[in-house]
Amino acid sequence: MRKLALSDEILLSVEKPARYIGGEVNMRVKDPKNVDIRFCMCFPDIYEIGMSHLGIQILYDILNRREDTYCERVYSPWVDLDKLMREKKIPLFALESQDPIKNFDFLGITLQYEMCYTNILQVLELSHIPIYAKDRGENDPIVIGGGPCSYNPEPIADFFDFFYIGEGETAYNELLDIYKACKNAGKSRREYLERVAQMEGMYVPAFYDVDYNEDGTVKGFDKNYDGAPDRVMKQVEMNLSEAYYPTKPLVPFIKATQDRVVLEIQRGCIRGCRFCQAGMIYRPTRERDPEYLKKCAYEMLKSTGHEEISLSSLSSSDYSQLQELVYFLIDEFGSKGVNISLPSLRIDAFSLDVMGKVQDIRKSSLTFAPEAGSQRLRDVINKGLTEEAILSGAAQAFESGWNRVKLYFMMGLPTETEEDIEGIAILSDKIAREYYEIPKDQRQGKVSIVSSTSFFVPKPFTPFQWSRMDTPEEYLDKQRYLRSKINEQLNKKSIKFNWHEAELSELEGVLARGDRRLSKVIYDAYMAGCLYDSWSEHFDYDKWLKAFEENGISIAFYNSRERSEDEVFPWDIIDAGVSKSFLLREYRRAKNATETPNCRELCVGCGAKKFAGGVCFEDKNLLAKASGELKGQEVSYEG
């Protein structure tokens, strides 16, 4: 029987003690003495959020399939336990074995959100692992970073031994095979990292020195180890239907953010929204075979007892077999009380028939993301969505029985005007009007429109990586203006307005496009007490401002200036598959409010065809049909 790392006294004194005891359904149990490699996967946020993350579930299963490896988990302790662990000098531990993290070979940290960066330092410090990679010795775990934020690893480069750039299914086995060979041969930590640096997709920050221009911009990267690549190409799993998928996912003891079976139906997105980092870094779009997904659904429901299936992707409507899959799942499992959820639907691809069948199981609110209130600004961001399509989709939804709609918009987008902001209020009102066009005896009560705005944050590897970002003061002015315009609408009582915190977004913007000089700022903010920055009740803006000031670093330098077209970015060391020239063409088209076709309409040469698969090589790609040449070959289009 396992001995828990925390006493009953401590567990009974903290909120939700089930976060720290492990033992969940489908948890892997191995004898640590009988394995060669101990690997701990970390999600640097609370248990409920981390347990909902599909990526960790996938890697957890992949690594535990190896007989020589035991993969365990750790999440950030909540503030109550954090305090007790420091007071009582209890080292952070893995859930499965309850052993200290410092005794493991690897600590793999997923990087999903910039506002979790101080939590990374919390995990390292509580684990008694030196925070800075340069201070670690031969007996310390090797700390790996991966996930979307690793596409600009520079702000946290000093804390990691290396970064895994790309998708985890492809190279972890090779990483562990090399480690085992190095360990058996008595090789040093440095020698292992030299081997790692020669693998595709692996970035070892210590092997690169960064040079800066007099104006503070990045001049370039100088390699201090000849075996390191000039640029690091991401890892991509091209055949998702043959890639391993976890059919026995962990089931938490307490309610998680996503307490359901998650079926990833595709990876990537064909749309090319110019603000969306995920839509660029996960190119090319690849689909999972529906027969494979049906099998996974059976096995996952059986092994978990969940009562809901969520179809996961960046744009579910663009999955070519969506109708077939949804009909099957509803026919097969609907009578057993299993709900089907379809996130990430586009209004213009709204399937009344499919959604009607989903509603037969459970009526809920619909979520749409127009992103911008005016057609001009939707063209700027390449949303590919007309007002006619939005209103038509909403009308069909209302006629089918829905009366609650959530709308998501961004404020502060490039070229935005007051007219664009007012458009959010006008569009929200027009959608409410569509509801009241329905005969009264056919309505489902009153309509509820929740319009939420977030603060636009430019991200690396998007066409908007060159653009400036609004200041918090500018955003708050726009927020007040929008509220006043909503209050002028006929259906203002049906519209609820939500907004995001400006200061939080400002910091996210700095960390998203920052360079290696920010590592010291993050460290100082953490040492001053910053933690759980993504939680508004714990975010301390003043402490962050002080950390920037003490390091002589200007927030405005990172956020408030338009980048020159030839500027070297901190993330240029990474090759995400999409070319910088393509992103620049898209930025120029954005300034002219010119739309770009989606990947199934025309290949516009983003660079992702180098991976030799996915949507780039579909018969539906009109380039192949029009040219009669090799599928996936790019064409030029007017920039």
237-241, 271-275, 542-546: least confidently modelled range: 237-241
pLDDT, residue 620, reads 54
pLDDT over threshold 70, residue 144: yes
pTM of the model: 0.94
Stretch 334-349: mean pLDDT:
76
Strands 218-223 and 232-233: unpaired
Question: How crowded is residue 118: how many other Cβ atoms within 10 Å of its Cβ?
Answer: 23
Beta bridge partners of 164: 146, 202
**Alpha-carbon torsion 239, 146, 163, 505, what sign?**
positive
pLDDT, residue 629, reads 39
Stretch 124-129: mean pLDDT:
99
**How far apart, in whole angstroms, are the C-alpha atoms of residue 623 and residue 639?**
18
pLDDT over threshold 90, residue 129: yes
Q: Which of 508, 567, 576, 639 is nearest to 216 (CA)?
A: 567
Which residues are CB-neighbours of 194 under 8 A, at least 6 positions away?
225, 227
Residue 17 preceded by cis peptide, ω within 30: no
User: Tens digits of per-residue pLDDT, 348-404?
Assistant: 444 556 666 665 544 567 778 999 999 999 999 999 999 999 999 888 888 878 899
pLDDT over threshold 80, residue 524: yes
- Which tokens belong to 477? 């002015």
The residue among 142 and 352 whose pLDDT is bigger is: 142
- Residue 633 identity (one-letter amino acid): Q
Task: With cut-offs at 50, 70 and 90, classify the pLDDT of residue 346.
Answer: low
CB 599 within 8 A of CB 284: yes
218-227, 315-324, 603-612: least confidently modelled range: 315-324
Angle of CA points 22, 26, 29, to nearest 5°: 65
**How far apart, in whole angstroms, are the C-alpha atoms of residue 294 and residue 149?**
32
pLDDT, residue 634, reads 45
pLDDT over threshold 50, residue 433: yes
pLDDT over threshold 80, residue 330: yes
Q: End-to-end CA distance of the chain, in Å?
A: 65
Q: Which of 12, 24, 83 is nearest to 48 (CA)?
A: 24
Task: With cut-offs at 50, 70 and 90, classify the pLDDT of residue 266.
Answer: very high
pLDDT, residue 363, reads 55
Mean pLDDT for the chain overall: 93
User: Tens digits of per-residue pLDDT, 153-167?
Assistant: 999 999 999 999 999
18-22, 328-332, 344-348, 432-436: least confidently modelled range: 344-348
pLDDT, residue 25, reads 96
User: Tens digits of per-residue pLDDT, 289-316?
Assistant: 999 999 999 999 999 999 999 999 999 8
Stretch 621-638: mean pLDDT:
45
Question: How crowded is residue 243: how many other Cβ atoms within 10 Å of its Cβ?
Answer: 19
In the sheet with 106-110, reading across from the earlier edge strand, the strands are 69-75, 37-43, 106-110, 142-146, 162-164, 202-203
Stretch 596-619: mean pLDDT:
93
Question: How crowded is residue 242: how many other Cβ atoms within 10 Å of its Cβ?
Answer: 12
pLDDT over threshold 60, residue 95: yes
pLDDT, residue 317, reads 86
pLDDT over threshold 70, residue 622: no
Q: Mind giving me the DSSP string for 455-468?
A: E----TTSGGGGS-
**Alpha-carbon torsion 599, 600, 603, 609, what sign?**
positive
CB 451 within 8 A of CB 407: yes
pLDDT, residue 626, reads 43
What is the longest distance spanned by two Cα atoms in the chain? 79
User: Tens digits of per-residue pLDDT, 554-605?
Assistant: 999 999 999 999 999 999 999 999 999 999 999 999 999 999 999 999 999 9
pLDDT, residue 623, reads 47
pLDDT, residue 192, reads 99
437-451, 463-477, 485-499: least confidently modelled range: 437-451
Q: Label residue 214 exposed, middle or buried (CB < 10 Å: 0-12, 13-18, 19+).
A: exposed
Question: How crowded is residue 448: how many other Cβ atoms within 10 Å of its Cβ?
Answer: 16
For the chain, give every domain's residue range: 8-233, 572-627
Task: With cut-offs at 50, 70 and 90, classify the pLDDT of residue 1.
Answer: low
pLDDT, residue 201, reads 98
User: Tens digits of per-residue pLDDT, 28-52?
Assistant: 999 999 999 999 999 999 999 999 9
pLDDT over threshold 90, residue 84: yes
**pLDDT exceeding 90 applies to what percent of the chain?**
85
Q: Mind giving me the DSSP string for 103-120?
A: GSSEEEEE---GGGHHHH
Count the residues in the chain: 639
Stretch 415-419: mean pLDDT:
98
pLDDT over threshold 60, residue 57: yes
pLDDT, residue 55, reads 94
